[in-house]
Amino acid sequence: MPPPYAAVYFDCDSTLSSIEGVDELLQFADPALRADIARLTEQAMNGQLPLAEVYETRLQRLAPRREQLDRIGALYVQKLVPDALRTVQALQWLGKHLGILSGGLLTPVQHVAAALGIPVANVHAVALVFDADGSYRDFDRCSPLWRNGGKVEVIRALPAGHRPLAFIGDGATDLETQGTAARFVGFGGVVARPLVKARAETFANGPSLATILPHVLAADEWQRLAANPQFAPLLSSAKA
């Protein structure tokens, strides 16, 4: 479905931020685990392994502590992709609902939302459960986002006012939203995954997040941004 869209939602890892949060937890892990966990993450993102199988295994082996999540959140914000904040602000200025829909961990993803001014009610990710001493117990198994097809479920449950919706992401589980979201835009600004680039209805090469704008804006919306001195310079990056 062509624009305009009432809402634009984003994946977080390798889309809004240039890192993969679970991989960054490896800095706290035994070195022997690092290669295995990184390999599992890449296989899941490329659609080579079921997400649920990888998700549970990674968290059991990493067993992150509560305090580590804020450190990962701060790193997410440090590593925002070029023009992330200005792109989000431009879309909000146009009156669109903005949200994040991620298979990542909720606390770090909330740091990204706060930095970008995205309402907490529009942030969907997987919460962890900790013991009183901050040690890892489990993850929220009621969330659909730790398994394949979960993002489709969440999109279907979003408020009616957020439709039609465009979704932006880099990985195989993001690609699954194509056909449920009014438009899926593959984002290659951090990593251009061959599966996503080959199958996405439309693809933004990056590196700036603004390269999604030609894919999610109607002609009159583009013209409104071009007439606003605050956002007009962003459109040069959008054409990169």
Range of the domain at 42: 7-238
Q: Which of 116, 137, 142, 100 is nearest to 13 (CA)?
A: 100
User: What is the sign, positive or negative, of the torsion defined by CA atoms of 161, 223, 188, 178?
Assistant: positive
Helix H or strand E segment including 220: helix 219-226
Q: Say whether 133 is catalytic.
A: no
- What is the count of structural domains for the chain? 1
Whether 1 is covered by a domain: the verdict is no
Q: Which amino acid is it at 239?
A: K
Q: Which residues contact 50 (CB under 8 A, 6 or more apart)?
A: 44, 147, 148
Q: Which residues contact 231 (CB under 8 A, 6 or more apart)?
A: 86, 89, 90, 93, 225
Q: Which parts of 74-229 are beta strand (E)?
A: 97-105, 123-126, 128-130, 136-139, 165-169, 183-187, 202-204
Whether 198 is covered by a domain: the verdict is yes
Q: Which residues contact 7 (CB under 8 A, 6 or more apart)?
A: 96, 97, 98, 99, 158, 161, 162, 163, 164, 165, 166
CA dist 217 and 60 (Å) reads 42
Q: What is the pLDDT along the chain (240 residues), one digit of tens a residue?
A: 889 999 999 999 999 999 988 778 877 777 777 677 777 767 766 767 676 777 888 888 888 999 999 999 999 999 999 999 999 999 999 999 999 999 999 999 999 999 999 999 999 999 999 999 999 999 999 999 988 899 999 999 999 999 999 999 999 899 999 999 999 999 999 999 999 999 999 999 989 999 999 999 999 999 999 999 999 999 988 876
Whether 52 is covered by a domain: the verdict is yes
Q: Say whether 11 is catalytic.
A: yes
CATH code: domain of residue 65: 3.40.50.1000
Indicate the pTM of the whole model: 0.91
Whether 2 is covered by a domain: the verdict is no
